[in-house]
Amino acid sequence: MQSSALSRYIGLIPSSVMIGAFFVIPFVLILLTSVSTPTDDGGYATGFDLQHFERFLTWFYIERALFSAGLCALIAVLSLLIAYPFTYFLTTFPPRSQTFWLIYILAQLSLSEVLIAFSWQILLSRTAGVANILVWIGVIEKSFAMTPSAGAVVAALVYLTVPFSVLLLFPALSRLDKSLIEASRTLGASPLRTFFTVIIPVTRPAIISGGVTVFVLTLGAIIVPQVLGKPEHWTLSVLITDQAIFNFNMPFASALAVVLLVLSATVIWLVTKFSGKKT
Amino acid sequence: MPTTLSRRRFLGTAAATGAAALAAPAIVQAAQSLKVGTYGGFFEDSFKQFIFPEFTKATGIEVNSVAVPTGETWLVQIKNAARAKTAPADVSLMAGIPRSHGADQKVFKALDDSKIPNLSNMPDRFKDRYDDGTLYGVGAVSWYITLCTNSDEIPEAPDSWAALWDETYKDQIGLLGLASNSHMLEVTAATFFGGTDILDTKDGIQQVFDKLSELVPNVRLWYKDEGAFQQALQDGEIPMGQYYHDVAGLAAAEGFPVVSTFPKEGAVVDSGYWIVPEHAQPVDEIHEFINFISAAETQALLSRNVGTAPVVDPALTDLTEEELAAVSSPKAPIVPRYDIYKDHADWISDTWNQMIAG
């Protein structure tokens, strides 16, 4: 008994050391920096000072935090709305084409956010963008730029997150017990009704975990909002970059990062608390 | 206990000796080469093509070029390297507020005036000194931020910054995205308040902000990435905005319909200075390099090939009137007020962010 407990602990050591070194220590450093005190020469020293959090507590930054959360929630919903039907139909394909599609979607993940943001910028520009196609078909008279705008930010972020959603939904949907669907149909439910009252409830845990993952992933997006959005579409992550890189204010950047972390932790906690139990 | 101590000390000594032995070839090698940091992209390319070969020809010292970021990022990298007692470059360009922050934190090596005879060519404002008078920064190049327009879209370029407030240009303007690099506070003060003195007080800055916020509806792009704006300006997608005179001139030379105008209130002048990180090693080579760039001939070479304005008295150079006009203007420039971005850093950054977010 004792020796097996011991061996279990020993087995935990490598992963614990890794998690400690690469996750806990940096996080503690951010936490310490966020409450550090300024020094006379413009730097900062270890101490306890809440001024950076006080600076956050103005309507501007609170509004930015709420905007970021709202935008990420919207992206999570849109991404799932696109990915869910696609993934469901994908699971009905023969295994060979399923593999092909999954490899194709995995390959999309190798595109970086930077590449995607700049590609969308060209795609939505006046001179080389899709507006020219609209002119060509005769829908509009003169080409126009579709960026920077809220629509551009949403489009690129959804594009960025759909592959993740598909991969997160795929295991649950492919393991779905087909006899449930047959039972529902035999009992007289229409395909649509079966979809909403049987398939969706059964795969709810996957939908929720997929939504949360996309939400958290989008919270960290910097390039897309900055390149494709106007300043009013810049998220908290963009402001953190500004503070850390351009304004040289590590303590305030750290404080904003802590706020961002609290925000995502709260969302994860709320979602697991209110939706995880029934299944 | 004593054994442990001596053992540790022995290990420490052995490690130090080993490290020194390993480092020795590097020092010998370093004596004939210098790591010089200039802004990545066009600047670095031009220095590599036109300036560094001349320096190697004149002194026999090889140059390893390092691309450095503009803004505070580079200072952060220098400070991080300093904690490990190293320097990411032996000598590098740094401008404006980061230089001033770095000087406050004393991360730059003190330079020896006597080893840079060409210092006599330049005015005192290009010699940065610590409070005790020691030199830590030497002017390298100057550049201007002007009012740039696309001549296809706006055939007659406006001659005043006030055009940025003109309602006919709604949603057509590109400006730099940060208070501290666009210097729009200084531009607004010079255009509507008779000069930058109004920025001496916080109340004054607020007044300038109030005026500046009137142009926000005209701004389509608050850019952080120069490339994005240049592309839009060349295409006419964003036909007007503030941009760098030298790069705009190059775009025009390549045939793009871009015009750079020195407004009647003056263009914003900014300068890059050579600074030396505390732990840079080849001290003599560094001084020789700075001295070489401070020579009137090198400054003329820079003006012709990089498009920067000389930091030495133009009369000392052999630049013709046309050549000088291409890189600078006899009109009094708007000189950035770096002090306000240090004294009111947080407040200006917050007010600016709120303003541009509408």
- The H or E element that residue B261 is part of is strand B258-261
Give the CA-trace dihedral at A235, A237, A238, A243, to 10 degrees. 130
How close does chain B come to A229, measured CA to CA in Å?
Answer: 9
Which residues in chain A touch residue B73, judged by CB atoms under 8 angstroms apart? 245-246
Domains within chain B, CATH numbers bracketed: 33-142+270-327 (3.40.190.10), 145-269+331-356 (3.40.190.10)
pLDDT band of B153, cuts 50, 70, 90:
very high
Which residues in chain A touch residue B98, judged by CB atoms under 8 angstroms apart? 248
| Pairwise CB contact (< 8 Å): B346 & A60 | no
Number of domains in chain A: 1
pLDDT tens profile A208-253: 999 999 999 999 999 999 989 999 999 999 999 988 887 778 899 9
Residue B346 to residues A242, A250, B351: CA-CA distances in angstroms?
12, 12, 8
Q: How far apart are CA B289 and CA B63, in angstroms?
A: 10
How distant is the alpha carbon of residue B159 from its chain centre? 25
Please tell me the predicted confidence (pLDDT) of residue A3. Answer: 65
Whether B224 and chain A come into contact, CB under 8 Å, resolves to yes
Average pLDDT score, chain B = 88
Of A41, A55, A127, the CB nearest to B237: A127
Q: How far apart are CA B243 and CA B11, in angstroms?
A: 57
Of A145, A231, A248, the CB nearest to B357: A231
Give DSSP secondary structure letters for B151-206. TTT-SS--SSGGGGG-GGGTT-EEEESSHHHH-HHHHHHHHHSSSGGGGGSHHHHH
Range of the domain at A240: 59-275
pLDDT tens profile B176-194: 999 988 999 999 999 999 9
Q: How many other β-carbons are positioned within 10 Å of the β-carbon of residue A261?
A: 15
Nearest to A58 by CA among A251, A255, A247, A226: A255
| Pairwise CB contact (< 8 Å): B345 & A227 | no
Residue B247 has pLDDT above 90, yes or no: no
Average pLDDT score, chain A = 89
Please tell me the predicted confidence (pLDDT) of residue A2. Answer: 60
Q: How far apart are CA B69 and CA B44, in angstroms?
A: 11
Whether A127 and chain B come into contact, CB under 8 Å, resolves to yes
Is residue A51 assigned to a domain? Answer: no
Q: How many other β-carbons are positioned within 10 Å of the β-carbon of residue B88?
A: 18
Of A42, A58, A64, the CB nearest to B104: A42
Q: Please, what sign has the CA dihedral across residues A90, A95, A96, A100?
A: positive
Please tell me the predicted confidence (pLDDT) of residue B6. Answer: 42
Is residue A102 assigned to a domain? Answer: yes
pLDDT tens profile A50-97: 999 999 999 999 999 999 999 999 999 999 999 999 999 999 899 999
Whether B349 and chain A come into contact, CB under 8 Å, resolves to yes
**B228: nearest CA partner in chain A:** A227
Residue B69 has pLDDT above 90, yes or no: no
Structure tokens at B208: 């300038």
Is residue A46 assigned to a domain? Answer: no
For residue A68, give the CATH number of its domain: 1.10.3720.10
Report the percentage of chain A scoring pLDDT > 70. Answer: 96
Report the percentage of chain B scoring pLDDT > 90. Answer: 65
Please tell me the predicted confidence (pLDDT) of residue B160. Answer: 96
Residue B53 has pLDDT above 90, yes or no: yes
Q: How far apart are CA B345 and CA B68, in angstroms?
A: 24
| Interface pTM, i.e. ipTM | 0.83
Query: Looking at residues B6-11, what average pLDDT do you find?
Result: 41
Please tell me the predicted confidence (pLDDT) of residue A214. Answer: 95
Pick B352 or B5 by higher pLDDT.
B352
pLDDT band of A206, cuts 50, 70, 90:
very high
Q: How far apart are CA A200 and CA A198, in angstroms?
A: 6
A25-34 vs A250-275: helix axis angle to the nearest 10? Answer: 120
Are β-strands B219-223 and B173-176 bridged in parallel, bridged antiparallel, or unpaired? Answer: parallel
Residue B1 has pLDDT above 80, yes or no: no
Which residues in chain A touch residue B220, judged by CB atoms under 8 angstroms apart? 148
pLDDT tens profile B97-112: 888 888 888 899 999 9
Which residues in chain A touch residue B178, judged by CB atoms under 8 angstroms apart? 242, 246-247
Please tell me the predicted confidence (pLDDT) of residue B67. Answer: 93
Length of chain A: 279
Nearest to B110 by CA among B139, B134, B81: B134
3-state SS, residue A98: helix
Amino acid type, A141: E
Of B221, B224, B358, the CB nearest to A148: B221
How close does chain A come to B250, measured CA to CA in Å?
Answer: 22
Is residue A43 assigned to a domain? Answer: no
Please tell me the predicted confidence (pLDDT) of residue B20. Answer: 43
pLDDT band of B3, cuts 50, 70, 90:
very low
For B222, phi then psi, to 5°, come to -100, 100
pLDDT tens profile B24-52: 444 444 457 899 999 887 789 889 999 99
pLDDT band of B96, cuts 50, 70, 90:
confident
What is the pTM assigned to this prediction? 0.81
Nearest to A212 by CA among A141, A157, A161, A277: A161
Whether A62 and chain B come into contact, CB under 8 Å, resolves to no
Give DSSP secondary structure letters for B218-233. GEEEEES-HHHHHHHH
Which residues in chain A touch residue B224, judged by CB atoms under 8 angstroms apart? 226, 246
Residue B19 has pLDDT above 50, yes or no: no
- The size of the A-B interface in CB pairs under 8 A is 69
Is residue A10 assigned to a domain? Answer: no
Is residue A50 assigned to a domain? Answer: no
Residue B220 has pLDDT above 80, yes or no: yes
Q: How far apart are CA A128 and CA A144, in angstroms?
A: 10
| Pairwise CB contact (< 8 Å): B346 & A252 | yes
Whether A54 and chain B come into contact, CB under 8 Å, resolves to no
Reported in sequence order, the residue ranges of B6-163 that DSSP labels E, i.e. its strands, are 33-39, 62-68, 91-95, 127-129, 135-150
Whether B353 and chain A come into contact, CB under 8 Å, resolves to yes
Structure tokens at B117: 């005879």
Is residue A25 assigned to a domain? Answer: no
Please tell me the predicted confidence (pLDDT) of residue A125. Answer: 87
Please tell me the predicted confidence (pLDDT) of residue A247. Answer: 79
pLDDT tens profile B121-148: 898 889 999 999 999 999 999 999 999 9
Is residue A53 assigned to a domain? Answer: no
